[in-house]
Amino acid sequence: MSIFSKLREIESKYKIKLHESESFKQAVYNGEMTDSEDCIIDKIELILKHYPDSQDISLSTYQSDETSDDEFCYAVVLP
pLDDT (tens digit, 9 = 90+) per residue, 33-44?
888 899 899 989
Residue with more model confidence, 75 or 38: 38
Residue with more model confidence, 12 or 65: 12
Burial degree of 67 (CB within 10 A; 0-12, 13-18, 19+) = exposed
Phi, psi of 69 (to 5 degrees): -90, -10
Q: Are strands 17-20 and 56-63 parallel, antiparallel or unpaired?
A: parallel
Whether residue 10 contacts residue 44, with contact meaning beta carbons closer than 8 Å, is answered with yes
